[in-house]
Chains A and B, each alone.
Chain A
Amino acid sequence: MIIKDVVCPFCGCLCDDLDVEVDGQKIIKVQNGCTLAEATLTGNNRLPAPIRRTANGWEEISYDDAIRETADILCAADRPLLYGWSSTHGEAQSIGVHIAELIGAVIDNTSVVCHGPSILAIQEVGHPGCTLGQVKNRADVIVYWGCNPTEAHPRHMSRYTTFATGFFVPEAQKDRTVIVVDTRRTESAEIADEFIRIERGGDYEVLSALRAIVRGKGSILPREIAGVAREQLFRVAEICMKAKFGAIFFGLGLTMSNGKYKNVRNAIELTDELNRHTKFTISPLRGHGNVYGSNEVFTWITGYPYAVDFARGIAFYNPGETTAVDILRWGECDAALIVASDPGAHFPHAAAAHLAKIPTILIDPHRTATTPLCRLQIPCTMAGIDAEGTAYRMDGVPIRYKKLIESLYPDDADLLRRIHDRIREVQGA
């Protein structure tokens, strides 16, 4: 059977035009997707049943026991941490927030180690963004800053920018100018019309220089700024100011380098300057399929997009203090529930090591680098493959994941609901 218009759950592009061929409980062919989509949809590395770590290794346990034990561990903890949430649907995320409120936990999502700093910058100066549809149909100048979409979001260029024809840009390659700014000559840089190679850590300076030029103060600039010739920046500023509609996309090259959210703030302020001349927008290239959804869901329920601490009985937010890496590196939490993410692979090990010292429960379909660190792992469905649900694309557009095959596993929203209800029972008693 061929299922049409399938949504790929891997990256924040959430491409919704895949054709997937299914035979019973197996996905056998993926069309239109990139190599990442194919690997995600056809992969098979599921954990067969819930497992518990014992003194002699691992044992399989029942779902009932796993749920009971999870609720008991969370209820007994003084400072539980609930972390992850980007590879599941909004339905599971919202129950996670309710559990956090019930037990006075800190709940954080993976944006803390990707675009958390972008959110901090947006909270300071706002977000002049737009949907990807606007970019596709209008943008004649595209800037990719500190990101490598060719490898991390392989269809971004073909669906929305460099190679995509749009209503006002009928001949993509002729009508659009693509500028790539990076410290490395990446594959994306090879495709660009203009590549600005800056010295590591020089983003803030180069952004400030561009702002100066756009403001008409370019004469104060030195000959070279963070390894970039002044003339190149004049040329690029001219291209941007002459654009009919420009779109900047930025990645972790800004959020993870020195300066972090201040880099992003400067990029937003450059966009602001450019809007005095023409129309320009800026947006983060969000990584995981539904990481944007975790920010949305947390925000509707608590008012804050990530790093929400319920220890006081009300929602409190202070990145740097209530963020998962910090809570782990200080050894502050005494139990952890990890859902749909892999801090064992993606957190600095000085922080991840704390997960092995405390009772950690992992709800995830796969054997991951967090599996060895946890006390219990409960396998569940994978949103977009054997579970449907709502996800948010990187531009904030909600898209419904389809269920492609019947599952042998419970949906993570159902598992979390059962844990939630069990906690209420224990608390009631």
Chain B
Amino acid sequence: MRAVLNTGRNISQGIAVEHKGSPAYQAAVSVCHMNPVDLMELGIDEGEHVTLTSRAGSVVLTTRAAESMNRGEVFVPLGPYANHIISAETHATGMPDFKAEPVDVVPTDESVRTVWELMESIGGVRYDH
């Protein structure tokens, strides 16, 4: 399914934001909110996983049904998961397209990576002492 990715703050992201390695943070920001009809069209239930692929890369997320979403739009809270697939292009404004990234949404059995795994995939070294 083709969709537009929107990102932003929400309460659970805000509560866990100073605990980036915590399960609560990962659970808060690795979620893909989408319209229940879109979920039905993909043939999956809430809680199953999808891969979102954009021009910048791809990432696996857990789905959550949200009546508030328009069809054809998905919302991922601000954080390392959303940013794994947001392009760095800023159109000479300094600001990336955090609310308008076109993505492909495909169901998957793959598991959601941890924040540290994501950071390692871009050259980081985890610190988990």
Binding site for B on A (CB under 8 A): 10, 35-36, 39-40, 43, 45, 51, 53, 57-58, 112-113, 116-117, 120, 148, 151-152, 154, 183-186, 189, 199-201, 252-253, 255-258, 260-261, 287, 307, 319-321, 323-326, 328-329, 342, 344-353, 356-357, 366-369, 371-373, 377
Across the interface, A366 reaches (CB within 8 A) one of B18, B75, B87, B129, namely: B18
Q: Which chain A residue has the least Cβ–Cβ distance from B21? A: A367
CB-CB under 8 A for A39 and B15, given A344-B119, A356-B124, A372-B119: yes
How many angstroms between the C-alpha atoms of A256 and B96 in the bound complex? 7
Contact, CB under 8 Å: A350 / B9: no
Q: Looking at A36, A261, A319, A350, which has the most chain B CB atoms within 10 Å of its CB?
A: A350
Q: Which chain B residue has the least Cβ–Cβ distance from A120? A: B93
* Residues of B contacting A: mostly: loop
Interface assignment of B113: CB less than 8 Å from any CB of chain A:
no
Q: Which chain B residue has the least Cβ–Cβ distance from A319? A: B94
Minimum CB–CB distance from A417 to chain B (whole Å) comes to 25
Contact, CB under 8 Å: B120 / A186: no
CB-CB under 8 A for A353 and B87, given A120-B93, A154-B11: no
CB-CB under 8 A for A148 and B83, given A36-B14, A113-B96, A329-B88: no
User: Chain A residues near B78 (CB, 8 Å)?
Assistant: 345-346
Contact with A along B39-80 (1 / 0, CB 8 A): 000000000000000001100000000011110010100111
Contact, CB under 8 Å: A320 / B90: yes
Contact, CB under 8 Å: B79 / A151: no
Across the interface, B98 reaches (CB within 8 A) one of A113, A185, A349, namely: A113
How many angstroms between the C-alpha atoms of A14 and B78 in the bound complex? 21
Which 7 A-B pairs have CB atoms at the shortest separation, nearest pair first?
A323-B94, A372-B124, A356-B123, A320-B92, A329-B88, A353-B122, A348-B88
How many angstroms between the C-alpha atoms of A116 and B127 in the bound complex? 32
User: Chain B residues near A351 (CB, 8 Å)?
Assistant: 88, 96
CB-CB under 8 A for A353 and B123, given A152-B9, A345-B80, A347-B83: yes
Contact, CB under 8 Å: A349 / B83: yes
User: Chain A residues near B21 (CB, 8 Å)?
Assistant: 45, 367
How many angstroms between the C-alpha atoms of A423 and B129 in the bound complex? 31
Interface assignment of B2: CB less than 8 Å from any CB of chain A:
no
Contact, CB under 8 Å: B20 / A349: no
Q: Which residues from 88 to 111 on chain B have a C-beta closer than 8 Å to any C-beta of chain A?
A: 88-100
Q: Which chain B residue has the least Cβ–Cβ distance from A328? A: B88
Q: Which residues from 2 to 30 on chain B have a C-beta closer than 8 Å to any C-beta of chain A?
A: 4, 6-11, 14-16, 18-22
Interface assignment of B115: CB less than 8 Å from any CB of chain A:
yes
Q: How many residues of B contact A (CB 8 A)?
A: 55
How many angstroms between the C-alpha atoms of A112 and B98 in the bound complex? 12
How many angstroms between the C-alpha atoms of A287 and B6 in the bound complex? 17
User: Chain B residues near A321 (CB, 8 Å)?
Assistant: 92
Interface assignment of B86: CB less than 8 Å from any CB of chain A:
yes
Minimum CB–CB distance from B112 to chain A (whole Å) comes to 15
Minimum CB–CB distance from A43 to chain B (whole Å) comes to 5
Q: Which chain B residue has the least Cβ–Cβ distance from A260? A: B93
User: Chain B residues near A366 (CB, 8 Å)?
Assistant: 18-20
Contact, CB under 8 Å: B11 / A200: no
CB-CB under 8 A for A350 and B88, given A255-B95, A368-B20, A371-B127: yes
User: Chain A residues near B80 (CB, 8 Å)?
Assistant: 344-345, 349, 369
6 contacts between A and B (CB under 8 A): A58-B125, A116-B95, A260-B93, A261-B93, A348-B56, A348-B96
Contact, CB under 8 Å: A253 / B99: yes
Q: Which chain B residue has the least Cβ–Cβ distance from A227? A: B70
CB-CB under 8 A for A258 and B126, given A186-B68, A372-B119: no
CB-CB under 8 A for A185 and B20, given A35-B15, A307-B94, A344-B80: no
CB-CB under 8 A for A117 and B95, given A345-B80, A348-B88: yes
Across the interface, B9 reaches (CB within 8 A) one of A148, A328, A348, namely: A148
User: Chain B residues near A353 (CB, 8 Å)?
Assistant: 122-123
Contact, CB under 8 Å: A352 / B99: no
User: Chain A residues near B119 (CB, 8 Å)?
Assistant: 344, 369, 372-373
Minimum CB–CB distance from A56 to chain B (whole Å) comes to 10
Contact, CB under 8 Å: A372 / B126: yes
How many angstroms between the C-alpha atoms of A338 and B57 in the bound complex? 25
Minimum CB–CB distance from B101 to chain A (whole Å) comes to 9
CB-CB under 8 A for A43 and B19, given A346-B78, A372-B124, A372-B125: yes
Minimum CB–CB distance from B1 to chain A (whole Å) comes to 16
CB-CB under 8 A for A200 and B83, given A184-B75, A186-B68, A326-B90: no
Q: A253-B99, A348-B83 are in contact. List 20 more A-B contacts (CB 8 A).
A: A36-B14, A43-B19, A45-B21, A57-B125, A58-B125, A112-B94, A154-B11, A185-B67, A200-B100, A319-B92, A325-B94, A329-B88, A329-B90, A342-B20, A345-B83, A348-B96, A350-B87, A353-B122, A367-B21, A372-B124
